[in-house]
Chain A
Amino acid sequence: MIKNELLIELTEYIELVINDYTLRTITLGTAILGAVTGMLGSFAVLRKQSLLGDAISHAALPGIAIAFLITGAKDSNTLLLGALVSGLLGTFWIRGIITKTHLKSDTALGLILSLFFGFGMLLLTFIQKQPNANQAGLDKYLFGQAATLVESDVWMMAIVTGVCLFVLLLFWKEFKILLFDKDYAKTLGFNTKTIDILITSFIVLAIVLGLQTVGVVLMSAMLLAPAAAARQWTNSLSKMVLLAAVFGAFSGVFGTAISASQNNLSTGPVIVIVAAVFVFVSFVFSPSRGLLFKQIRFIKNRRDLQLHKTLAFMYHIAETHDNISHPHEIKILNNFQGYTKSTLKNLVEKNYVTIEGTTWSLTQKGFNSAANLYNQLSKKDE
């Protein structure tokens, strides 16, 4: 029954998404945004530039304010252009600080982030005092308001995503080689500086796109979370980029759905939390890297080791007798560290040992495998 109701609600919601203009725009917008940030975020994460996104998104704020001061209009495209310019300026200043002085990258990031943001706030408060009725709503860029998305914004996002995708595919091998072996790329004659600037610019572009939807403060999570989640499932760059895009898009769609179904829930934070859930699930349940399976593997290895240790111990006892299946008391195992009742049971199940009453005896199979125990190990090591 409950399942049915849920299904009905879900179909109703989907119908709403298709028919309702606002909801459709927002869902599409956040989905596209999630996809493009996930895609480019993969590069940011792998290049160890995770916090760059945070710095850039904050650094974009004065650009928005200045663009407004110059044009006096709240056209989102001009404002985003301003954000892009000031984001790029911040990025290159960060680069300048890291390469030209002995300040480290974290200091450079923190500096640019807080200084640009503070300057942006100064400008915003300055604008608010101006006798211009048009200024209200600039602060939506602080925390983002998905509800203000209109169709033209979504088109803009779609176009930018298309361009990103095109450039990404065009320069795929350059990006890839720069990512994993910069020096090699240089020796092959690639202009690493240009590629570097290209990809950083695209990351800035993606961040700026998202400002209107999730805002300055939470933008960095949009960049990181899908990529960090995708990283856990694969070791291949192309798969990771694809997965990150999918995770990002789904975070956008689910986040919008959850915030639309409740009152007083702003979309940005909800999307971030949904993305964080993706990350959490990936961290725990990913088959190869996940914490859960890692723990299971750990326990299994320990058991195997105990089993082998017990078997070896028995082997050394049996060795001293002519008949290898000569029965011994179980008690003598008690002093041995690796021995537990379950290991003994496992040994019996594997037909290595037979038990009669309170005695055990090694079978021929057990003897052989114990004799080869270390050989096998050393063979595996090779």
Chain B
Amino acid sequence: MNRKEEYEALLLELQQTPAELEHTVERAWKRKKAAGRTRRAWLASCGSIAACFTAFVLLVNLSVPFARACGNVPVLRELAKAVAWSPSLSAAVENDYVQPIGQTQTENGVSATVEYVIVDRKSLHVFYTLEFDDELGDVYADYDYGEIHGWSGDAGSARLESGELNELGIDFVEQDVPDTLELTLRVYARGGDDGAAPAEEIWDGDALFEAPAREAPDYLAELSFRLEFDPCFTAQGQILPIDAEFTLDGQSFTLTEAELYPTHLRLSLHADPDNTAWLAGLDLYLENEHGERFEKSLNGISATGDPDGEGLGTFWLDSPFFSRGQQLTLHITRAKWREKEGPETRLDLAAGTAEYLPEGVRFLGAERYPEGWVVSFAAPYDPVNTMYSPFGSTFRNEAGTTGSISQFSHTFGVEDPATGERTEEDTLFTEEFPLPDLEGTVVYLEPDFDRISNFAPAVAVSIR
């Protein structure tokens, strides 16, 4: 065979394409949708996923009572899996701190059963299963909790597997968990298994400048439950007065109290009004005399603001409620600060320069679009939350006109502009967001922090 015959044979060979090639667009579409969901839920960090698997493996393998409980009661094994992401909830299950519910509702071939709740004075976790025909495709549920106030938690559109135990959580910041809750699961399906893009979803390109579009789904079933909580559980929780003063990098604080619940622990800090900086973040953990550690919450709320200022005042951690320890010490390893008189971050988009960036953050560049600008930054991972947003959600131009940033995108590593290769994936992430309708080429952003202090050894404060 000469070269020309070889060429023709090779062309023929290359004409044979694999059948999977036909669905490349559908695969890309599904992946983009999944990435969008991940992006919107970036607060649920990758670290929490790793912690989830680690915690479950460790508990099942190292904790005799836990393993025994899981082995003897098949349903409890499922519950143990469902709470494996949370050391506090795992400890609750291990200690039988679970209220069985066992209510089932069925409509249009979709059946939901609320199996259990784990509840205390400030937090509620509902565990339920959904049974449906696999031919429905991807099945989701929206949640409605009726008339409740002052809560933060899961609002729905989670993708569900038939027969799998799912968890939804609600935290109450000021109010207590109510005696009863009207829970409605609104179930809908998308896509089927034909690989087609779902008709309900509005195609919006990369949607950098538009808010994510979503039409109201056509619900297959609305399944309502009235959940009554056992007062023995909803009464659980205690306040430990502390009043311990300490300083961090020259700023003064008082640890006023700890609220100890079975599902979590809250620490309240009071900042000295004479401090020159607001507290913008803390890395901290609790440790008892047995060396047991209770880390910062990775899912749900991790901190809330100080009502007397712009900094953070309350920090949420895993709970030592079920631990045997008598002593408890707070260890602070890192703090993020925002100077009270600190300047805003100034970007000159035309020149590609930046001033007053948060510590460790790098301005990668800006691109102009008909609808505005898109700016990107490289930032180091946070030890606990992995990815975060270094800026607030508003911007202003030099004339003082303000705008809102409706979405942030995060990706691992930094793209090399010359080769397109992603580098530094282990240490940095890229944040990208649009500045819609920005007039001019200079923009001011509000940094969430200016600088970071690391404490080695950790600053220790005794709690009890």
A binds B: no
Residues of B within 8 A of A (CB): none
